[in-house]
Amino acid sequence: MVAKWFEIPLWKRVFGALLAGVIFGLIAGTDAGLIKPVGDIFIRLIKMLVVPLIFVSLISGITAMEDVSKLGRLGVKTIGTFFITSAFAVTTGLVMANLIGPGIGAPREGLELPSVVPAQVTAVDTLLNIIPTNPVQALADGTVLQIIFFALVVGFAIKKVGPPADPVRHFFNGATEVVLRITHWVMEFTPFGVFALIASVVGTTGLGVLQSLGWLALTLYAACILHMITIPTLLVGLVSRLNVFQFYRGIFDAQLVAYSTSTSAGTLPVTMSCLQENIGVSRSVTSFVLPMGATVNMDGTAIYLGIVAVFAAQMFGMDLTMAQYGTIILTCTLISIGTAAVPSASLALMPMVLTPIGMPVEIVGLVATVDRPLDMMRTVTNITGDTAVATAVAKSEGELDEDIFAHRPVA
């Protein structure tokens, strides 16, 4: 029985668990919350891997590069593409919101100011905060950008020192293999974690959670689906000339985990595994692009922030000017880069989009009541964009194994 279970491809086990969780949640109701600790265990296991996976795999990837100058090209291509996809994402959200009109006639009673208002951070502060004053503290706190910066410095230093640093290089190579092995074990627990998380959400909120703000949910889901079709088609299909359907098949495990956990950073170990084992992206590219993407490429968040801005304007009967739309696009693109890769982090960013265009920030209190199912779709959009960019960058750098890409995904 156990052997037959592991013979089933992982994506089928996860998808089956997701459907079973919905059914169980509807039947059990609020009692489904009793199994939520199983899902919490899964989330903690995934979060346990994020920091060591980013740190050791990025150093290992840098030291494995024959030409260190390639890292500069990777950085330019990756960051440049991330900015473009984020700007496209928020534009997609604005267009979809104007077509569907989710805020027209929406109820306005009982709105409250958000309890958490983000502190204003300047561009200079953001750049300075990338450099850790205490690398150990950055690792302990899980500050991803600081971890990436420190890992880059360590990796370059190992390359610069050369043969005397071989023991250190071998250590990080070995550490990467160990962390990837643990990642594989955690992935086998995924169906049980997904079942518990989905059952708990459905049992607590019910499928009717979206009824009060159904048009907002419809707008977000439509925009995210359109974005997840368009970006991979452009980057993977047209630019890289690869089979887009094979790409979707290869990342399906990561999409399912992203939908159930609502955390881009938490999904990172699964996403990295899918890219390497199913898509054929090299470890060096995966180790660089995905951690960066989980931090600075939040397409789903950019879409959502744009939609909420239009939603608020429609709710309060305000007509936005072209200048205000331009402000929304620029603001959403920039602040989505700083979004924490954790569930519902975008709620704290909404005032930063609403205030500059004169929109009431009270709307945050309303959308927060149904944010969880919306956050689930945003997270899928985030990791889909990350993997599409990583695949295109790998293809352009000759770091994509097309034999692996052409094969069916591994279990």
Domain of residue 313, CATH code: 1.10.3860.10
Q: How high is the pLDDT of residue 408?
A: 64
68 lies in some domain? yes
67 lies in some domain? yes
1 lies in some domain? no
**Average pLDDT estimate for 144-162:** 82
pLDDT one-digit tens code per residue, 262-316:
777 778 888 888 998 899 998 888 888 888 777 677 888 889 888 988 888 887 7
CB atoms within 10 A of CB 75: 15
411 lies in some domain? no
**Rounded CA gap, 335 and 41, in Å?**
31
Closest CA to 358 of 389, 330, 384, 323: 323
Instruction: Please provide the average confidence, as pLDDT, over all residues in the chain.
Output: 78
pLDDT confidence tier of residue 126, bands split at 50, 70 and 90: low
Q: Would the pLDDT of 1 be above 70?
A: no
Q: How high is the pLDDT of residue 161?
A: 87
Q: How high is the pLDDT of residue 184?
A: 74
Q: Would the pLDDT of 155 be above 80?
A: yes
Percent of the chain with pLDDT strictly greater than 90: 15
pLDDT confidence tier of residue 222, bands split at 50, 70 and 90: very high
* Separation of CA 123 from chain center: 23
Q: Would the pLDDT of 120 be above 60?
A: no
**Rounded CA gap, 153 and 149, in Å?**
6
2 lies in some domain? no
Q: Which residue has the higher pLDDT, 1 or 52?
A: 52
Burial of 55 (0-12, 13-18, 19+ CB in 10 A): buried
Q: How high is the pLDDT of residue 267?
A: 82
Q: How high is the pLDDT of residue 269?
A: 83
383 lies in some domain? yes
Q: Which residue has the higher pLDDT, 348 or 57?
A: 57
Q: How high is the pLDDT of residue 192?
A: 85
Q: How high is the pLDDT of residue 36?
A: 83
- Answer for the pair 189, 13: CB distance below 8 angstroms, yes or no: no
Q: Which residue has the higher pLDDT, 68 or 30?
A: 30
**Rounded CA gap, 377 and 384, in Å?**
11
81 lies in some domain? yes
Query: Would the pTM count as exceeding 0.85?
Result: no
Q: Could you tell me the two tokens for 336? A: 């989505």
Q: Which residue has the higher pLDDT, 353 or 247?
A: 247
pLDDT confidence tier of residue 117, bands split at 50, 70 and 90: very low
Q: How high is the pLDDT of residue 210?
A: 44
Q: How high is the pLDDT of residue 114?
A: 37
Q: How high is the pLDDT of residue 321?
A: 78
**Rounded CA gap, 129 and 140, in Å?**
16
206 lies in some domain? yes
What domain range is 102 assigned to? Answer: 7-406
Q: Which residue has the higher pLDDT, 34 or 248?
A: 248
pLDDT confidence tier of residue 361, bands split at 50, 70 and 90: low
Q: How high is the pLDDT of residue 209?
A: 44
| Counted domains in the chain | 1
pLDDT one-digit tens code per residue, 41-97:
877 777 787 778 778 877 877 776 666 666 677 778 887 888 889 889 989 999 999
